[in-house]
Structure 1
Amino acid sequence: MSDADGGLEQRDVVIAGGGPVGLALALGLARAGLDVLVLEKADGPCAHSRAPTIWPATQQVFAELGLVERLEERGVTLSHPQIWDADRGVSLLSLPMDELAAETSFPRLLILPQSETVAILHEEIRNTVGVEIRFSCKVSGFIQDSFGVDVICRRFGLEERVRAKYVAGCDGEESTVRAHLGGKLEGKTYATRAALADIRVSGGEDLAFPRISTDPRPVIALRLGADIWRLIFPHSRRQPADPERWISDASTRLFGKVPEALIWSDTFSLHRRISSHWVKGRIVLAGDAAHLNSPVGGEGLDAGMQDAKLLSRALEAAVAVDHPQPLVNYVANRRRAMERGTGAFTDIASRSLLFGGGRMIRPTFAIARLLFAVPGWRRRILRRLALIDQK
């Protein structure tokens, strides 16, 4: 809508970034009656699988948005995942998620490619009043005063401006919003990197997973669909990343056959970092713009979705009282959760499993089995994985 005085487009909230965190936040705010605009620099939705693991607390977020059944229809659910040693044909660790049935409505692990999650969110947003997604629109700056924020962006080579009561930066690791706040991602980058490859291998629907092989180099496999598997190759920074060269050998070790097709591949660094600044007046961060944690444990998307849930409530309150204090409260909550919860947990898991080029994988799982034999420790670890211990 336009301001009758200045002709500037007006919104309650502008969200920079149209990934799953930004979209979930936008949908939650629109459901609460706010007028929301999502600005996404890409020319369309994410087309790659990226983060596929969805733990119970995040399934609850999708349930509150009315979407969890659609995710179930397209994904793979596991109430008792088995981490399987493909080299020796034995289970390394069993995760009885169903033991959490008294604490969550979703005592299972849900596997769904991020592209599918984003597609479901887009479908729902198209049918929701009060929210718009604008593609090919790169945010370039902000002018903030006591009453709102002018968001400056470029679209098709032309400058556009939108006036918002509040702005949420969900624009990822290279966040423009974070840069405007003066925030820096403080922390560390691990010596180990990861190469990813999504492949098509038929006939593996009954195989236990995640599957792990360590000889001659470690590889982890996660089933994304009926015949689609994600391969994860940890490797040192000194070792050239060449997933196409590794795929055939890894697939033979994991599945007993070579892949039928390579669908997608990528390589990335592993971090444990958190922004030095999350909020400035009416501008606030969420997701990878605010924090990065190692994907070991598969909790990157989940941490961002918890941000979206709590930030939605904070922004609703901030609009209602016309004051940004609820954003400060949100930041204190989520920063503490990331430092003591997800960030700390994934750091321990990463250092344990990736130390020495994967040589500690089996000893680490042997220790985990001993801990899981003690009911109190088993419940504590399962709750941590499920993010039930974060509010």
Structure 2
Amino acid sequence: MTGHTLDTDVLVIGGGPVGLALALDLKYRGVRFMVMEASDGAVDHPKVGTVGPRSMELFRRWGVAERIRAAGWPGDHPLDIAWVTAVGGHEILRLDFGTADTRPPLPYTPEPEQVCPQHWLGPLLVREVGVHPEGPLRLRCRLDGFTQAEDGVTATATDLADGTALTVRARYLVACDGAASPVRKAAGIAAPARYEPLTFRNILFRAPLLRSRLGPRGALVHFLTRPGALRYPLRSMDGRELYRLTVPGAVGRGAPDEDAGVMVSQA
């Protein structure tokens, strides 16, 4: 379809946590910007669960820290880390961090860490930045290519909703499009491996009765210490019923799928 040309100061490619955080900072500083994100912005499988103190300090600057604290994490849920042979089994060690409601103020920051999993944080940041046409975030908009000149960058893109072609002229283009960043590769910037890569699987499941059954043995994270595959964390994601078990390995093409339900039961 016939396209049109847009103009901005900073074009951010990628609407994940990094791209949206940059957008909030640009908004705070009064810099014109546009964010392109090829997906619809939904987060079905949260990989990140806690927003650290430094990030919360930045969110405080941008006026969204209180919204993150009010996103849904129960203030009475333990923030403890426990090393166990199994969840509800023998406990080896516990680090007591209290709860969000009871922990004392920290001497080094006004913004302690906050549990806000990615499927809460992502949509919250999308709303704060604002989706096109009211806001500068364009969801389902794919970058097709870009050229660089002395005075800026010209990018071409496709609106995946209707196939419209877009041309965007910007002073700067920022790659926030993930570890495999096509923008980084197109710019000829190498990312040499520092360590041998490891592969993990996250198993997301619901257990509505687990918190009440654990009672005082509950924790934010249970580190499983049994020999074999289960030597990794089981974490509460929403403080109510959603949990994530991390296990090593991955299912390769043609390989039988290791039963996730069995691994959860073992944990």
Q: For the superposition of Structure 1 and Structure 2, which TM-score range results when normalised by the shorter chain? A: 0.7 to 0.9
Q: Which amino acid aligns with 2:246?
A: I
State whether residues 45 and 119 of structure 1, in contact with CA within 8 Å, keep that contact through their aligned partners in structure 2: yes
Q: Which runs of 5+ in 1 are unaligned?
A: 1-6, 255-391
Q: Deviations over 1:308-330 (max 9, x none)?
A: xxxxxxxxxxxxxxxxxxxxxxx
Q: For 1:53 and 1:242, locate their aligned partners in 2 and report how far apart those are by CA, in whole Å.
A: 29
RMSD, aligned α-carbons: 3.0
Residue 85 (structure 1) aligns with: 84
State whether residues 86 and 211 of structure 1, in contact with CA within 8 Å, keep that contact through their aligned partners in structure 2: no
Residue 230 (structure 1) aligns with: 244
Compute the displacement of 1:24 (Å).
Answer: 1.4
Residues 182, 168 of structure 1: alpha-carbon distance in 2 compared, 3 angstrom cutoff: same
In the superposition, the TM-score normalised over structure 2's length comes to 0.79
Residue 217 (structure 1) aligns with: 229
Residue 48 (structure 2) aligns with: 51
Q: For 1:81 and 1:17, locate their aligned partners in 2 and report how far apart those are by CA, in whole Å.
A: 34
Q: Deviations over 1:54-82 (max 9, x none)?
A: 22112212222222222222235678522
Residue 242 (structure 1) aligns with: 257
Compute the displacement of 1:136 (Å).
Answer: 2.1
Q: Deviations over 1:83-124 (max 9, x none)?
A: 3314352143526596881111233x4322212101111122
Q: Deviations over 1:230-253 (max 9, x none)?
A: 110023899x6835x1433x3334
Give 1:117-156 correspondences, 5 Å limit. Answer: 117-126=121-130, 131-156=135-160
Q: For 2:223 and 2:29, locate their aligned partners in 1 and report how far apart those are by CA, in whole Å.
A: 44
Higher normalized helix content (fraction of residues):
1
Check if 1:163 corresponds to 2:163.
no
Q: For 2:257 and 2:233, locate their aligned partners in 1 and report how far apart those are by CA, in whole Å.
A: 15
Give 1:295-334 correspondences, 5 Å limit. Answer: none
State whether residues 34 and 130 of structure 1, in contact with CA within 8 Å, keep that contact through their aligned partners in structure 2: no
Residue 110 (structure 2) aligns with: 105
Q: Deviations over 1:256-287 (max 9, x none)?
A: xxxxxxxxxxxxxxxxxxxxxxxxxxxxxxxx
Residue 13 (structure 1) aligns with: 10
What percent of counterpart residues are identical? 24
- Where 1:187 maps in the other structure, the secondary structure is coil
State whether residues 52 and 111 of structure 1, in contact with CA within 8 Å, keep that contact through their aligned partners in structure 2: yes
- Where 1:186 maps in the other structure, the secondary structure is coil
Q: For 2:170 and 2:135, locate their aligned partners in 1 and report how far apart those are by CA, in whole Å.
A: 13
Q: For 2:184 and 2:168, locate their aligned partners in 1 and report how far apart those are by CA, in whole Å.
A: 19
Residues 138, 241 of structure 1: alpha-carbon distance in 2 compared, 3 angstrom cutoff: farther
Equivalent of 1:208 in 219, 223, 231: 219
In the superposition, the TM-score normalised over structure 1's length comes to 0.55
Aligned length: 244
Which structure has the higher relative contact order (CA within 8 Å, separation 6+)? 2
Q: For 1:134 and 1:235, locate their aligned partners in 2 and report how far apart those are by CA, in whole Å.
A: 35
Q: For 1:227 and 1:192, locate their aligned partners in 2 and report how far apart those are by CA, in whole Å.
A: 29
State whether residues 6 and 166 of structure 2, in contact with CA within 8 Å, keep that contact through their aligned partners in structure 1: no
Q: For 1:53 and 1:194, locate their aligned partners in 2 and report how far apart those are by CA, in whole Å.
A: 19
Check if 1:180 corresponds to 2:211.
no
Q: Deviations over 1:308-353 (max 9, x none)?
A: xxxxxxxxxxxxxxxxxxxxxxxxxxxxxxxxxxxxxxxxxxxxxx
Q: Which runs of 5+ in 2 are unaligned?
A: none
